[in-house]
Structure 1
Amino acid sequence: MADSPIFGLLSGRPLRLIVAAILLINGLFPALWILLTSLKTDAELTRTPITWLPHAPTLSNYATAFSDQPLHLFLFNSFMVALLSTVLTLFVSVLAAYAIARLNLRYRGVILSAIVAVSTFPLVTLLVPLFETMRALSLLNTWAALILPYAVLSLPVCTLILVSFFETIPRDLENAAMIDGCTRIGALFRIVVPLAAPGVFTAGILAFVNAWDEFLLALSFNSSPQLRTLPVGIQMYQGEFTFPWPVISAALIVGIVPVAILIVIFQERVVAGLTTGGVKG
């Protein structure tokens, strides 16, 4: 049985190539279809039989996306909220991960289990408590109403990633720095964090993308038109009885591009963070 050609086909390189092709198509096809839709007119989009490629590609949908709604404002709000929440997330998660990885905590296992458990809570179950908290703090309709929850929601995953990285860094490097007069915090940010750069970049990318894509909290906590983020702003293109899919697709492509550029720029560090972080030295 193990020597049969079918078994060899299913367990060898062809199977891996097939699985990789399926994953690639599953990941790229939606974005490709949105791109092609953004280049079509409404008439071509509703034509039957369906046309896969636009016969007369047009960029007018992109101009309409910026003219019909303040898309530039949505992009700015999303970028600032995602950036500030990522900075806050990394600062807190670096300190938390270092404490877990280096200090002889008595209930270290319990703490890690609690972090994993918290990260599994569905966002919808946290909506009402978070809303009441933001209202009690008078933070509704501000960037802070999104920055603080986004940071809290990204902390568990980012902390777990950084813990695995910090544990691979020899303690002797920190001890040598402290002998030379560096404080523990100084050794953390001057020695440990630079050595764990792939993990920091990985955690940062995850936190940024999570904040960039989030819709439910952004819709619930900010009702001001001037504070709408991109996911909330895109829904404003649809009317009561109309769905301008080409224009909506153009706005989606504009929202995808910044994240795609970010990942392309830091892809080597992200890949290193995803592969190296799980190996302890």
Structure 2
Amino acid sequence: MLDERTGTQKALIGLGGFVILFWSAAPFFWQLSTSFQEDVALTSETPSFLPNPWTWVHYTNIFVDKQFHIYLRNSAIVAGLTTLFCLAIGSLAGFALSRLQIRGRFGILAAILSVSMFPQIAIVGPLYLLASNLALLDTYMGLVITYVALGVPLVTWVMFGYFDTLPMELDEAARMDGCTPFGVLWRIILPISVPSLVTTGLLAFIAAWNEFMFALAFTSTIDHQTVPVGIANFTNLYYIPWGDIAAASIVVTIPLVIMVLVFQRRIIDGLTQGAVKE
């Protein structure tokens, strides 16, 4: 009976996993198929999942005609800088609130979290005026500062939660050896927090990589526009290039998939470590 129940449970788990995989991966494979189909096939009455014939014209269009590599470069610069600054500021803030004796730290955390709860549409106008007065429109720095302000609350909360699970004996032993608070963070806490840093950094990177509203409002030329804005620029009044958009979406998704696959072990460790407070 136990073996039959175990076999049934395994079958149900396998079926559930297949359903989740199909639900998550099917849109990606449909986009992949679309990116290799000709425009005539995409507008036919009977759609086909498999391209017939195959074509690379959409990838040629986005990189040769639409200069999509420039948008990719801009997104990589903005998202990379955003991730570095978010991790630096969020780690310092999370460490200070978790490991140092700061009065009213939970009130500070609540204030930090409340900042991130404002709808983007409600703050894009004031931030636009501020960026305009500071000559930050159509610059990398204007986007990076905005994304860091939006990403630091999440990073601070996640790192605070992780640091709070580490035993205080680590700090005490390091201070007995002459470490300053910053030395404790740099030499002791951060090296053992790599999984959490990787997980949090990836979340910050993906958020900056996919952000559209501020990138659309703050940039006006291809020199600083990011990938979401670049894809939006593909369309015109009378024509939507579905094949080019599908090809661009595949190209944009591949770096994120590679990052997740490369760091999957670190991501799993970051999500599970600290779940039990010692």
**TM-score, normalised by the number of residues in structure 2:** 0.92
1:41 maps to 2:30: no
Q: Which one is further off, 190-199 or 55-64?
A: 55-64
1:67 maps to 2:64: yes
- Pick closer, same or farther for the CA change 1:108–1:201 going to 2, 3 Å: same
Shift of 1:35: 0.6
Partner of 1:58, secondary structure, is coil
CA distance in 2, matches of 1:271, 1:120: 27
Decide which of 145, 161, 186 is 1:164's aligned counterpart.
161
Asked if structure 1 preserves the Cα contact closer than 8 Å seen for 2:94 and 2:159, the reply is yes
RMSD (Å) for aligned C-alpha atoms:
1.9
What does residue range 58-207 of structure 1 map to in structure 2 within 5 Å? 58-207=55-204
Letter in 2 for 1:200: L
Q: Which residue of 2 aligns with 1:260?
A: 257
CA distance in 1, matches of 2:196, 2:171: 18
CA distance in 2, matches of 1:176, 1:269: 27
- Unpaired segments ≥5 residues, structure 1: 1-7
Moved over 6 A (4+): none
Decide which of 225, 228, 232 is 1:231's aligned counterpart.
228
CA distance in 2, matches of 1:120, 1:16: 36
1:240 maps to 2:237: yes
CA distance in 2, matches of 1:280, 1:272: 15
CA distance in 1, matches of 2:159, 2:72: 29
Shift of 1:24: 2.1
Report Cα offsets for 1:199-240 as digits up to 9, x if no partner: 111110000000000010000001122111111011222222
CA distance in 1, matches of 2:106, 2:203: 24
Q: Which one is further off, 209-218 or 98-107?
A: 98-107
Asked if structure 1 preserves the Cα contact closer than 8 Å seen for 2:35 and 2:247, the reply is yes
Report Cα offsets for 1:135-161 as digits up to 9, x if no partner: 222211110110011111111111111
Shift of 1:168: 2.0
Shift of 1:116: 3.2
CA distance in 1, matches of 2:219, 2:251: 22
Q: Which one is further off, 210-219 or 265-274?
A: 265-274
Asked if structure 2 preserves the Cα contact closer than 8 Å seen for 1:94 and 1:159, the reply is yes
Q: Which one is further off, 219-228 or 109-118?
A: 109-118
Shift of 1:18: 4.5
Report Cα offsets for 1:64-122 as digits up to 9, x if no partner: 11112111111100000000011010000001100111122221222233333333322
Asked if structure 1 preserves the Cα contact closer than 8 Å seen for 2:198 and 2:270, the reply is yes
Q: Which residue of 2 aligns with 1:280?
A: 277
Letter in 2 for 1:148: I
Q: Which residue of 2 aligns with 1:3?
A: none
CA distance in 1, matches of 2:277, 2:157: 14
Asked if structure 2 preserves the Cα contact closer than 8 Å seen for 1:161 and 1:277, the reply is no
Letter in 2 for 1:227: H
- Unpaired segments ≥5 residues, structure 2: none
- Pick closer, same or farther for the CA change 1:15–1:114 going to 2, 3 Å: farther
Count of residues paired in the alignment: 273
Q: Which residue of 2 aligns with 1:27?
A: 24
Q: Which residue of 1 aligns with 2:266?
A: 269
CA distance in 2, matches of 1:128, 1:79: 25
Shift of 1:165: 1.2
